[in-house]
Amino acid sequence: MKSVPGIREERYTSLAEKAYAEIRDRLIMLEIRPNEPLDDDALADELEMGKTPVREAIKRLEGDRLIVTYPRRGTFATGVDITDLAHISEVRSLLEPLAARRAAERATPAEQRDLLELADRLQALDLATTSNHDLMQYDAQVHRAIYRVAGNPHLEDTLVRHHNLAIRIFCLFLDRLPDVDDHVGEHVALLRAIASGDGADAAERAAEHVRGFEVAVRSVI
């Protein structure tokens, strides 16, 4: 996944952590398709690392509901069930505004500067000519940045997991969805609200962003 300038990249504490991030992003962007089998030997070769960190990553991804293992059949990417949309949106509609509010309240001056720089860079992008695939990569990194700044690791873990599942649904219909650039562009005002310390505005913008995601998907299914 591309790195968005202006926000710190994920730092890996181990090869297993790096393998987890790499495979996770392939799964959520549907580069590994739903129900596709996973070959840990092939993944280890592609990631240029041993089998052990890849196998550790796969175990962790099972907990994220991105991978499922069947005895005697093997390991597969989970299917994308559109009926999960309501359940995922229910969780996100409650927790995304909380994360945005807490990020606004807790962001350090350095984090505020990073978020403002990220907002500036997103605003400078020609979103209308950026591919939908790249737009969703930006979407994921912006959300992860906000979750980190919120400063609650349990909230962060929960939201990362549910946002990953939401992106898989979004990507399933990506070529049919209207106004993906507008959806990603909403992050600019959200990031500025967080950086300014306006928790109420940030929470409202986050809530509207989640509502817009669900409406967009439902409009094409």
- Tens of pLDDT, residue by residue over 194-203, are 999 999 999 9
In this structure, are residues 196 and 189 in contact, taking their beta carbons and an 8 Å threshold?
no
- Tens of pLDDT, residue by residue over 24-67, are 999 999 999 999 999 999 999 999 999 999 999 999 999 999 99
Question: Could you identify the residue written with the tokens 């559109």?
Answer: 82
**What is the average pLDDT value for the chain, to the nearest integer?**
90
Instruction: Please enumerate in sequence order all residues whose Cβ is within 8 A of that of 195, keeping only pairs 6 or more positions apart, or say none.
Output: 104, 107, 112, 113, 115, 116, 119
Q: What is the pTM of this model?
A: 0.86
In this structure, are residues 103 and 150 in contact, taking their beta carbons and an 8 Å threshold?
yes
Residue 141: band (very low, low, confident or very high) from pLDDT cuts 50, 70, 90: confident
Question: Could you identify the residue written with the tokens 């090869």?
Answer: 15
The two tokens of residue 207 are 């809530």
